[in-house]
Amino acid sequence: MRLLRINEVIEKTTLPRSSIWHEIKYNNFPKPIKITTRTRVWDEAEINEWILKRIEARNNDSEN
């Protein structure tokens, strides 16, 4: 398992920080893992899965 910090999540998803937190608030993005009181990380596999779901949704939309 590889854990990503916020800057790596931003780079991988190309989403701005504010959008990531907005999507988390509405349960549309993987929740972070609290490592310390000030440190949050994400499971890279969960981020990859989230990206793949976006691609699948796009492909399904184009089929209709």
pLDDT digits (tens, 9 = 90+) for 24-36: 999 999 999 999 9
Number of domains in the chain: 1
pTM: 0.91
**3-state DSSP call for residue 43?**
strand
**pLDDT band at 64; cut points 50, 70, 90:** low
Residue-wise pLDDT for 4-61, tens only, equals 999 999 999 999 999 999 999 999 999 999 999 999 999 999 999 999 999 999 999 8
Residue 50 neighbours by CB distance under 10 Å: 17
Could you tell me the residue range of the domain that residue 56 belongs to?
3-63
